[in-house]
Structure 1
Amino acid sequence: LQYDYLNKIQTLVIQESLSMTPHFLVFLNTSKQIRSDFQSCLYNFNMIDIDTFKTILQGGSSTIIDLLQKIRPKNVVSPFKYLGPCAPDVFVGREELISEIIDNDQAGYAITGGRRIGKTSLLLKIQYDINRGRQAVRYDNFLQRYEKQSYYDCCYVDCINLYSFQDVYNEIFRKQASKEILKGRVFSDLTELISRTSALQNKKLLLLLDEMDDLMEMVSVHDRDAENFQKDLQKAANRNMLKFVICGFRNISKVIRDPGHPFFNLCKGLYMTPLKKREIKKLLVMSNIQQLFKIPGHHLEKVVERLNIASGGYPSVVQYIADQMMRTDRDGIVSPNT
Structure 2
Amino acid sequence: MAGVFGRRNIEMARLGTKSIAKRDVNRLSQARSAKDIHQALDRIVKVVRSDASIVSFPKFRKFLGRVSDSEDSLKNLHSQLLDRLKISLDQWTKIEAMTQKWASLYDNPDFGHLVQPLVQDLSAFFGCKTRSFSVPLKDMGLWDFRLLFPDIHLNYFDDEIHMIVVTDSRAGPNEFAAVKDIIHKNDATMKVTLLLVLGNGDQLRELAKTSSIEIVVLDEDDCREIMLSPNSKRMFCHRVARRISVQALQPYQTQGKVRSRMFYGRHDEIKRLKSNLSNSFAIYGGRLIGKSSLLHQIDQEFEHGETGGYRVCSITAQAFTSSVEACRALLKELDIPTAKHRSVLTFERLMRDYLLSHTGRVLILVDEVDDLIVLDGRDNYQMFEAFHNLNNDFGERCRFVFAGYRDLARQCMDSKSRFRNFAEPIRLGNLDPVSARLLIEEPMCEELGFRFESDDLVEKILEMTAGHPNYIQVFCKELTEYLERQQRRRVREHDIEYTYHNADFRDRV
TM-score, structure 2 length as denominator? 0.47
Q: What are the residue-to-residue correspondences of 1:273-288 with 2, within 5 Å?
A: 273-286=429-442
- Residue 298 of structure 2: aligned partner: 126
Q: Is the 8 A contact 2:431 2:467 kept in 1?
A: yes
- Tell me the distance in 1 between the aligned counterparts of 2:357 and 2:241: 45
Give deviations 1:197-238, integer Å, cap 9, x for gaps.
6864x43211111001122123335x15x3244224432443
Q: Evaluate the alpha carbon distance shift between residue 43 and residue 332 of structure 1 in structure 2; reply closer, same or farther with a 3 A threshold.
A: farther
Q: What are the residue-to-residue correspondences of 1:155-304 with 2, within 5 Å?
A: 155-177=313-335, 189-190=347-348, 192-193=350-351, 196=354, 200=358, 202-220=359-377, 223=379, 226-240=381-395, 241-258=397-414, 261-286=417-442, 290-296=446-452, 299-300=454-455, 302-304=456-458
Q: Which amino acid aligns with 1:204?
A: R
Q: Evaluate the alpha carbon distance shift between residue 197 and residue 20 of structure 1 in structure 2; reply closer, same or farther with a 3 A threshold.
A: farther
**Aligned-residue identity in percent:** 18
- Residue 306 of structure 1: aligned partner: 460
CA apart distance, 1:117: 0.9
Q: Which amino acid aligns with 1:318?
A: I
- Tell me the distance in 2 between the aligned counterparts of 1:126 and 1:279: 17
Q: Could you say which structure has the higher helix fraction?
A: 2
Give deviations 1:263-304, integer Å, cap 9, x for gaps.
4521111101112322111223437961213335x723x122
SS class of match (2:257): coil
**In angstroms, what is the RMSD of aligned CA positions?**
3.9
CA apart distance, 1:311: 1.4
Q: What are the residue-to-residue correspondences of 1:39-50 with 2, within 5 Å?
A: 43-44=191-192
User: Are 1:317 and 2:471 counterparts?
Assistant: yes
TM-score, structure 1 length as denominator? 0.67
- Residue 72 of structure 1: aligned partner: 240
Q: Which amino acid aligns with 2:274?
A: I
- Tell me the distance in 2 between the aligned counterparts of 1:288 and 1:327: 11
Q: Which amino acid aligns with 1:332?
A: R
Aligned pairs, number: 275
Q: Which amino acid aligns with 2:475?
A: I
Q: Which amino acid aligns with 1:72?
A: V
SS class of match (1:123): helix
SS class of match (1:189): helix
User: Are 1:35 and 2:200 counterparts?
Assistant: no
Give deviations 1:159-180, integer Å, cap 9, x for gaps.
1111221121111122221xxx
- Tell me the distance in 1 between the aligned counterparts of 2:442 and 2:387: 42
- Tell me the distance in 2 between the aligned counterparts of 1:105 and 1:175: 21
Structure 2 unaligned residues grouped into runs of 5+: 1-152, 163-179, 196-232, 496-509
Q: Is the 8 A contact 1:159 1:209 kept in 2?
A: yes
- Tell me the distance in 1 between the aligned counterparts of 2:316 and 2:459: 35
Q: Which amino acid aligns with 1:316?
A: N
Which of 95, 99, 103 is the matching residue for 2:271?
A: 99
CA apart distance, 1:252: 0.9
- Identify the range of structure 1 (309-318 vs 89-98) with the bigger mean alpha-carbon deviation: 309-318
- Residue 329 of structure 1: aligned partner: 483
- Residue 83 of structure 1: aligned partner: 255
Q: Evaluate the alpha carbon distance shift between residue 101 and residue 243 of structure 1 in structure 2; reply closer, same or farther with a 3 A threshold.
A: same
Q: Which amino acid aligns with 1:295?
A: R
Q: Is the 8 A contact 2:332 2:338 kept in 1?
A: no
Higher RCO, Cα 8 Å, sep 6+: 1
Q: Evaluate the alpha carbon distance shift between residue 158 and residue 228 of structure 1 in structure 2; reply closer, same or farther with a 3 A threshold.
A: closer
Structure 1 unaligned residues grouped into runs of 5+: 1-16, 26-30, 48-64, 137-149
Q: Evaluate the alpha carbon distance shift between residue 281 and residue 174 of structure 1 in structure 2; reply closer, same or farther with a 3 A threshold.
A: same
- Residue 21 of structure 1: aligned partner: 157
Q: Which amino acid aligns with 1:251?
A: D
CA apart distance, 1:131: 3.6
Q: Evaluate the alpha carbon distance shift between residue 305 and residue 236 of structure 1 in structure 2; reply closer, same or farther with a 3 A threshold.
A: same
Q: Is the 8 A contact 1:213 1:250 kept in 2?
A: yes
CA apart distance, 1:114: 0.8
SS class of match (2:490): coil
Q: Evaluate the alpha carbon distance shift between residue 191 and residue 314 of structure 1 in structure 2; reply closer, same or farther with a 3 A threshold.
A: farther
- Tell me the distance in 2 between the aligned counterparts of 1:97 and 1:171: 27
SS class of match (2:371): helix
CA apart distance, 1:250: 1.4
Q: Evaluate the alpha carbon distance shift between residue 320 and residue 174 of structure 1 in structure 2; reply closer, same or farther with a 3 A threshold.
A: same
- Tell me the distance in 1 between the aligned counterparts of 2:491 and 2:161: 30
Give deviations 1:73-94, integer Å, cap 9, x for gaps.
4534412111222222111111
Q: Evaluate the alpha carbon distance shift between residue 288 and residue 257 of structure 1 in structure 2; reply closer, same or farther with a 3 A threshold.
A: closer
Give deviations 1:57-79, integer Å, cap 9, x for gaps.
xxxxxxxx9xx989934534412
SS class of match (1:111): strand
Q: Evaluate the alpha carbon distance shift between residue 78 and residue 203 of structure 1 in structure 2; reply closer, same or farther with a 3 A threshold.
A: farther
- Tell me the distance in 2 between the aligned counterparts of 1:97 and 1:322: 25
- Residue 52 of structure 1: aligned partner: none
- Tell me the distance in 2 between the aligned counterparts of 1:35 and 1:233: 56
